[in-house]
Amino acid sequence: MRGIPDDWPGYSPDLFTYPEHYSGALDCVYIPHGVIMDRTERLARDIMDDRGDHDIAVLCVLKGGHQFCSDLVDCIQVLNRNSSKSLLMTVDFIRLKSYLNDRSTPDIQMIGAESLSVLTGKNVLIIEAIVDTGKTMQTLLTHVRAFKPKLIKVAG
């Protein structure tokens, strides 16, 4: 997928409906919700094609990843219902904290990490909203690998 060029002016806010309290505050819309949902559905199709009939354990990284995870899982479930393949999914949650207020900290707290033994031997899909420096994701991947999953993929 091609990225958005640095000089992309975005779409005029006049093309969209948005809450009145944003009036005057929006210069442009870079990625409309419909485009995000189309890409999410495409990603769900890719996951279905890639995993086929192999079960998958979804690990949603909270707090930011909850909406993306929900949308992606919904798309996978719709495709699963309308497919000759059957993909069994389980969804678990983990919360990672690497910021205190608005500052990055060297330590990463994992909340919910004690229940990750369910990932042993599974195909794991980690769903994260934002991968910034990658430090938090690397820490999570190291932790998940300790449970010896069959496969790990990251969607974000």
Catalytic residues: 132
Sequence length of the chain is 156
Q: Is 29 exposed, middle or buried (0-12, 13-18, 19+ CB in 10 A)?
A: middle
Opening angle at CA 98, ends 96 and 102, nearest 5: 125
Picking from 145, 142, 154, 97, the residue whose alpha carbon sits closest to that of residue 120 is 145
The residues, ordered by sequence, that sit 6+ positions from 152 with a Cβ below 8 Å of its Cβ are 124, 126, 141, 144, 145
Do β-strands 89-100 and 103-111 pair in parallel, antiparallel, or remain unpaired? antiparallel
